[in-house]
Structure 1
Amino acid sequence: MRLTVFGATGRVGHTLVHDALGQGHEVTAYVRDPKRLGIKHGRLVIKKGSLEDGTTVAEAIRGSEVVVSAIGARDATHAVTVVTEATRAIVTAMKAEGVQRLVTVGAAGLLPHAAGGLTGEHGLPPFLRHAFEDHRGAFLGLQDSGLDWVVVCPPVMPSGVKTGKYRTAVEALPTGGRQVYAEDVADFTLKVATGQEHHRVRVGIVGD
């Protein structure tokens, strides 16, 4: 399968690119700084550019079967729109190129809350507020996009190792889990991207 990956130099994106190549997929990694990727492979195309450059974004997506976005703000201590704007640019390019499937890495706050609305709208700690608002903007854009989207929603996501031991639930966060390794999020995100089990849903994931 041919994938285009945005956010390929981040924790989830980098692992996902590495694993996808190891599984025999063809990958285009869209990055600002190719040196930060640190991966060379015969089935890897590295496309340098910014998300403000719609032409280059479209070129990176052209011919792909699925797009993965693992983009996140590096500093969310103040109001940011990094994920919202990136998702908007990616959706626009996908429509132009006729690519339908988009898998993104969001946050547990995007999952439904029992009282209505999103989990992040109920008692979210102040230090997470800006990141949540950014992810919410992206999610609202996906809902209106008409694309075949899936949002992977982890809670706290430390770096660690790929254990392969995690639990997932559609439109909910599995009970009893408060974190999941970024490497396991990458593992599951790749499975979603290359499979056909999930369509237009949010999927919560926690470590086992």
Structure 2
Amino acid sequence: MKLLLLGASGRVGQKVAELSIQEGMKVHALLRNPEKVPSSILEKITYTHGNVLNKEQIEEAISGNDMVVSALSTDGGNVLSESMPLIIEAMKKEGISRIISVGTAGILQSRAEPDMLRYQSSESKRKLTRAAEDHHKAYNFLKESALDWTIVCPTYLPDGDATGVYRVEEDFLPEDGSKITTGDTAHFTFSLIKEPRFIKFRVGIAY
């Protein structure tokens, strides 16, 4: 198994990389700033130095891989929604069908208003919706892509190690879920790398 990891320098991405390395998987990353990745990880992966918004660099990075795992953040702008069409196009060109993306609980369905997403509904406690809107656009691109996608949707995401004990639910946040650590988000994401599940679903994750 060889996977392309996007967002490998981030809080969840680093932990996904560590788990993949421990399992003996081959990890390739597309890194804008390799210096942000701990040397303990960087020494054990291969990488393309580049930007996820650059079509040629994405195509170079994705070549030869079996699947894509994205732990990209919105990066204060529209990185997710602008990069997702490029990622999808490169995957189709390379003949890769499987992508797992780490999103946000804001794009899950609202329990109170099921015809709305959580960030659009009274369930949302956030006044600013820019990040959720970018995740929503990326979700729409995946939904229309015909790829075998899964979006892992954590709620409040403090740093912390994996416990392996958490709840997940298709398309909704587990009831009364209020947080999930970066470690357990990576743990669940990695479980989907090993065993394809929740194909074409958003998955809420919380304690």
Give the equivalent residue in structure 1 for 2:136: 136
Give the equivalent residue in structure 2 for 1:35: 35
2:101 partner letter: T
Give the equivalent residue in structure 1 for 2:88: 91
Encode CA deviations 1:30-76: one digit per residue, 9 max, x unaligned: 1101111122444x21211012221221121112111011111343x
1:86 partner letter: S
Structure 2 runs not aligned, ≥5 long: none
Structure 1 runs not aligned, ≥5 long: none
User: 1 CA distance for matches of 2:176 and 2:126?
Assistant: 23
Give the equivalent residue in structure 2 for 1:201: 201
Give TM-score, length-normalised by structure 2. Answer: 0.92
User: 2 CA distance for matches of 1:12 and 1:94?
Assistant: 22
Match of 1:150, SS?
strand
Deviation at 1:82, TM superposition (A): 1.5
Encode CA deviations 1:117-141: one digit per residue, 9 max, x unaligned: 2121103344441111010010111
User: 2 CA distance for matches of 1:83 and 1:107?
Assistant: 12
Match of 2:167, SS?
strand
Q: Contact (CA 8 Å) 1:73, 1:83: kept in 2 or not?
A: yes
Structure 1 runs (4+) greater than 6 angstroms displaced: none
Deviation at 1:173, TM superposition (A): 1.1
Structure-to-structure mapping, 1:133-172, within 5 angstroms: 133-172=133-172
Instruction: Tell me the C-alpha RMSD between the 2 structures.
Output: 1.4
1:194 partner letter: K
User: 1 CA distance for matches of 2:29 and 2:141?
Assistant: 23
User: 2 CA distance for matches of 1:127 and 1:103?
Assistant: 28
Is the counterpart of residue 122 in structure 1 residue 141 in structure 2?
A: no
2:117 partner letter: L
Structure-to-structure mapping, 1:45-64, within 5 angstroms: 45-64=46-65
Encode CA deviations 1:98-120: one digit per residue, 9 max, x unaligned: 11001001111111124212121
| Paired residues, number | 202
Encode CA deviations 1:165-191: one digit per residue, 9 max, x unaligned: 211111211123200001110111111
User: 2 CA distance for matches of 1:193 and 1:145?
Assistant: 19
Give the equivalent residue in structure 2 for 1:105: 102
User: 1 CA distance for matches of 2:93 and 2:127?
Assistant: 37
Q: 1:199 to 1:33 in 2, by over 3 A?
A: same
Match of 1:109, SS?
helix
